Chain A
Amino acid sequence: MVARRGAEWLPLAEKVLAHAKAEGASEAEVLVSGDDAQLTRFANSEIHQNVAETNAQVNLRFVSGKRIGVASSGRLDDDGLRRLAEQAAAIARNVEELPDWAGLPEPTPITDVPAGFSDATAAATPEMRAEAARDVIAAADEAGVTAYGSFATSTESLAVANSRGVRAAQERTSSQLITVSMGPDGGTGYAEQAAIDATVIDAIKLGREAAEKARSTANARAIEPGDYAVVLEEYAVVDLLDMLGYLGFSALAVQEERSFVEIGRKVGSDLVTIWDDGSDPAGLPMAFDYEGVAKQRVPLLDGGVCQGVVYDTQTGARDHRTSTGHGLPAPNPYGPFPLNMLMAAGSVSRDELIGGIERGLLVTRFHYTNPVHPKLVIITGMTRDGTFLVEDGRIVGPVRNLRFTQSYLKALEGVSGVSRERKCLRGFLGGVVVPALRVDSFTFTGATEH
């Protein structure tokens, strides 16, 4: 089923605005979101879970002077919408004023991002996803390994309307295939691709990439934890951007003094440039945020130097500036986040990154990372699905997984190489576009048995 166009939600949002006005709102904002999402999951080289969801939700931010109430509902009928307005109004009547309430945002010129929608993804079928799963499984069979993974397709429809005239609607699609291969001798491998258009996802290629890596990591040997130069493949670099975005690149984190960001502070090597751009079709674009504000391109790090953070309306008002279009649905105690981060490509190949290491490790990806010290961005986590010893610029062989406890800021300082190829992947903050990196020193603090 192809989801309703975001624009079709706007009349519904207008109805809610009218109900809010009737309840006495001085300002109101309505966010309508719809999801048609499907996911086919495979393990042990067979499909074992296969799901589809049709969902819609209306979120009303009701403002009475400086009092705010938020209510949400999945009921879209007239009675449900009226009740939603009554509920939000009742909350607003019972809460204290927000002394620094900045008001809802004014309309901003929104440029459509047509590249963010694919008819093929919106029309994806269970048969199409099953075919991709079979392709991955066939690649695994050929290599004598077992395939695990998932193939997701989704269409997100979004409409925002507020009493100051914001009217924004969009529809985005996304797709993602991930796969882990596991071999009989303990080898594992990983591959992933995210795309707006599900038909560009190359299941056979991903299946082969993961399967080959699983074969090449068989019978991994133990290695002592310690400091090593590393090449981080794109799958691992995603986590660096996610953590930096989550812990530091938010205006609220700066305002609460828990961010490492100080404009002009150099935290990375000259090779590190990161920005957020909701309009770049290389990622998974988004034209406006959940407050209906157009997304601006925001430089975050340029040549390793802090350039900026992202804002929503409220955090922007505190710093006497407008939102950059990075607000989340209300109520939002977490602040704005960069949901479309990109990292600048470098000039070398993956082999050249590895070639620059005298003795170190090639890391495919990280697993279960978590901040140990948020402000210093000290993160712990494990390597997974392909860790290799590199000596004299060549991969020597697979090693067992290691635990790291490492400041990602220190890692940025030590970036000495950036690949010219980048991948579009999905992190926990959204779509990211990342290269592979060489980092001169990375601290591994423990080991495991596989």
Chain B
Amino acid sequence: MREMTDRALDTAAQGGATYADVRIVRRTEESISIKSGRLEGVSSGETEGFGVRVLVDGAWGFASSHLLETAEIDRVAAEAVRIARASATALRRAVNLDDRPSAHGTYETPITEDPFAVSLETKIDELTAADAAAFGVKGITFTETSYAAQREHKVFAASDGSYTDQTITHVGAGVEANTVEGDEHQRRSYPDAGGGWQAAGYEFVRGLDLVGHAGAYAEEAVALLSAPQCPSGKATIILDPSQLYLQIHESCGHPTELDRVFGTEASYAGTSFLTTDKLDSHFRYGSDLVTIVADATAPGGMGTFGWDDEGVAGQAVPLVQDGIFVGYLSSRETAPRIERRSGGAMRADGWNRIPLIRMTNINLLPRPGMSLAEIVEDTDDGLYLASNRSWSIDDRRLNFQFATEVAYEVKGGKKGRLFKNPTYTGITYEFWRSCDAVGDERSYVMLGTPNCGKGEPGQVGHVGHAVPGARFRNVQIGVGKW
């Protein structure tokens, strides 16, 4: 491996690169999909290749290939240099990287049970049983039960002598029960829409106990068909972790990406309202209860690693402290522009993509006091919303709207009847300022999504979110005409 990375770096240097790095990545995946009792698909896949990133004349170039051969390494490194020279013809501000210490070492996701070593038969049997438990409920139209595992082995080397070797394993699984009657289509998912995911081994899947939960969730999906429509108006809402994590993802994770703040995503997903003047002016992002950290060291999080994809060590970076905006997700290129060091958030979706600033684990820290159940008990009148069904946010991450699979009425501190098609909307900072309760350690769980899109060409990221559940006041619910 060293020979290949040295060759790529040498070729880049000979071509005039003042900085270069190379990643050799091998990704192995396995997936199982069952629909309504029918084993729809079982697949395994692997992809391997390398990407070379160079700085020439202050401009970036990147080239990549699936062919791990000497001649191809030479061609690709030279192509990266040529591309950088083309970039330099439309450059107004030369790239300046911070001076992080060179990176050396190995990292491996701690796992108990290797998901790729568990027999296919065992996995299919467990998923089939879970699917049957959901599909067997009267009134269910179709079910979807899924499992996936991904292992990425990546070597990173840079022209400053850095060399790291990491093996990262993620697994996910879930059951989804759907009911359709006329124009009405309702769904309940366990443990979460899109499944539950962690950086872990197969022990995480076993711990989900899909079989034990599938039936109850399916029954709730059936009950939703005859549930009343979610009311419209202003209300107190309590967000279950299965919805709160996506609220954080969209309204705190993305807007704190410093490349987005500097406009480099403007033509695609947009920019951010969290401009750098708000960092200097101690902008109030949320209530005093809101503390959010980007923590690349959190156990089980899909944003946990040893080093990011430009060799910066995984670390915890405060984003919001007691409601005040205090930091960004950053890179070696962007951090010096706010006179900081990189927070280590550069991540690439495989060998054929450049690293971008991505979320690591964006966690809403628990607050001592009430568990999520006790927050419900503390609520006279409101709605408890769980499991995301739809999400949307404007191009500066201000106006958001979410739909969840289910809303439970909360009256006198108790969860009661169901409402179907719940939605809520708001403006990011107004919403977070209205937060008046955050769950404590007892409700704090690590969730995440394997489906975070960013960049052109498109990249899909795996990110983590540890959250405890929280309550918000005076929120607009029940949006639109039904």
A residues neighboring B (CB under 8 Å): 37, 39-57, 68-75, 87, 90-91, 94-96, 98-100, 125-127, 129-130, 133-134, 137, 146, 148-150, 152, 178-180, 182, 256-258, 260, 330-333, 367-376, 378, 380-382, 384, 401, 403, 405-407, 443, 445-450
For the complex, give the distance between the alpha carbons of A125 and B87 in Å: 12
The answer to whether A331 and B61 have CB atoms under 8 Å apart is: no
The answer to whether B394 and A401 have CB atoms under 8 Å apart is: yes
29 contacts across the A-B interface (CB closer than 8 A): A43-B265, A44-B93, A47-B59, A50-B61, A51-B64, A54-B65, A55-B64, A68-B41, A70-B43, A94-B42, A94-B124, A98-B39, A100-B38, A134-B89, A150-B267, A180-B266, A333-B35, A368-B269, A372-B403, A373-B421, A373-B482, A375-B185, A376-B482, A380-B480, A382-B393, A382-B395, A384-B394, A405-B479, A449-B399
The answer to whether residues A368 and B392 also contact, given A72-B43, A130-B89, A448-B399 and a CB cut-off of 8 A, is yes
The answer to whether A40 and B394 have CB atoms under 8 Å apart is: no
| Most chain A CB within a 10 A radius of its CB, from B66, B124, B180, B396 | B66
Which residues of chain B come closer than 8 Å to A372, judged between CB atoms?
A: 389-390, 401, 403, 421, 423, 480
How many Å from the CB of B451 to the closest CB on chain A?
13
For the complex, give the distance between the alpha carbons of A75 and B67 in Å: 8
Does chain A have a CB within 8 A of B1?
no
The answer to whether residues A75 and B479 also contact, given A52-B63, A368-B392 and a CB cut-off of 8 A, is no
The 9 closest A-B pairs by CB, nearest first: A331-B41, A405-B480, A126-B86, A448-B399, A72-B45, A70-B43, A148-B267, A148-B266, A130-B86
**Would you call the interface of chain A mostly helix, strand, loop, or mixed?**
strand
**Which chain A residue shows the least CB distance to B420?**
A373
For the complex, give the distance between the alpha carbons of A192 and B119 in Å: 49
Binds A, one of B77-85, B304-312, B315-323: B77-85
For the complex, give the distance between the alpha carbons of A42 and B92 in Å: 11
The answer to whether residues A127 and B86 also contact, given A71-B43, A375-B184, A403-B401 and a CB cut-off of 8 A, is yes
Which residues of chain A come closer than 8 Å to B93, judged between CB atoms?
A: 44, 46
The answer to whether B395 and A43 have CB atoms under 8 Å apart is: no
**Which chain A residue shows the least CB distance to B481?**
A443
Which residues of chain B come closer than 8 Å to A148, judged between CB atoms?
A: 263, 266-267
Does chain A have a CB within 8 A of B386?
no
Q: Interface residues of B toward A: which range?
A: 35 or more
The answer to whether A182 and B266 have CB atoms under 8 Å apart is: yes
Instruction: Name the contact of A95 in the complex, choosing from B35, B42, B60, B482 (C-beta under 8 A).
Output: B42
Does chain A have a CB within 8 A of B210?
no
Does chain A have a CB within 8 A of B113?
no
For the complex, give the distance between the alpha carbons of A150 and B269 in Å: 13
**Which chain A residue shows the least CB distance to B265?**
A43
Binds A, one of B46-54, B369-377, B437-445: B46-54
Chain B stretch 312-345: residues in CB contact (< 8 A) with chain A: none
Chain B stretch 69-98: residues in CB contact (< 8 A) with chain A: 76, 79-80, 82-87, 89-93
Instruction: Name the contact of A52 in the complex, choosing from B67, B83, B262 (C-beta under 8 A).
Output: B83
Which residues of chain B come closer than 8 Å to A50, judged between CB atoms?
A: 59-62, 83-84, 86-87
For the complex, give the distance between the alpha carbons of A152 and B456 in Å: 9
Which residues of chain A come closer than 8 Å to B269, judged between CB atoms?
A: 368
Which residues of chain B come closer than 8 Å to A98, judged between CB atoms?
A: 38-39
For the complex, give the distance between the alpha carbons of A133 and B93 in Å: 16
How many Å from the CB of B164 to the closest CB on chain A?
22
Other A-B pairs beyond A68-B41, A330-B41, A384-B395, 9, CB < 8 Å? A44-B262, A49-B60, A51-B64, A91-B120, A98-B39, A371-B390, A445-B425, A446-B399, A447-B399
Which residues of chain A come closer than 8 Å to B393, judged between CB atoms?
A: 368, 382
For the complex, give the distance between the alpha carbons of A398 and B182 in Å: 41
The answer to whether B63 and A375 have CB atoms under 8 Å apart is: no
The answer to whether B82 and A380 have CB atoms under 8 Å apart is: no
For the complex, give the distance between the alpha carbons of A442 and B152 in Å: 46
Which residues of chain B come closer than 8 Å to A256, judged between CB atoms?
A: 141-142, 178, 180
Which residues of chain A come closer than 8 Å to B392, judged between CB atoms?
A: 368-370, 380-382, 403
| Most chain A CB within a 10 A radius of its CB, from B47, B86, B142, B421 | B86
Which residues of chain A come closer than 8 Å to B475, judged between CB atoms?
A: none
Which residues of chain B come closer than 8 Å to A71, judged between CB atoms?
A: 43-45
For the complex, give the distance between the alpha carbons of A94 and B269 in Å: 42
**Which chain B residue shows the least CB distance to A53?**
B352
How many Å from the CB of A59 to the closest CB on chain B?
8
Does chain A have a CB within 8 A of B427?
yes
Instruction: Name the contact of A94 in the complex, choosing from B67, B87, B121, B394 (C-beta under 8 A).
Output: B121
The answer to whether residues A333 and B92 also contact, given A50-B84, A74-B48, A375-B184 and a CB cut-off of 8 A, is no
The answer to whether A39 and B456 have CB atoms under 8 Å apart is: yes
How many Å from the CB of A223 to the closest CB on chain B?
14
For the complex, give the distance between the alpha carbons of A35 and B86 in Å: 22
The answer to whether A370 and B390 have CB atoms under 8 Å apart is: yes
For the complex, give the distance between the alpha carbons of A176 and B38 in Å: 40
Which residues of chain A come closer than 8 Å to B16, judged between CB atoms?
A: none
Chain B stretch 340-358: residues in CB contact (< 8 A) with chain A: 352-354
For the complex, give the distance between the alpha carbons of A185 and B225 in Å: 48
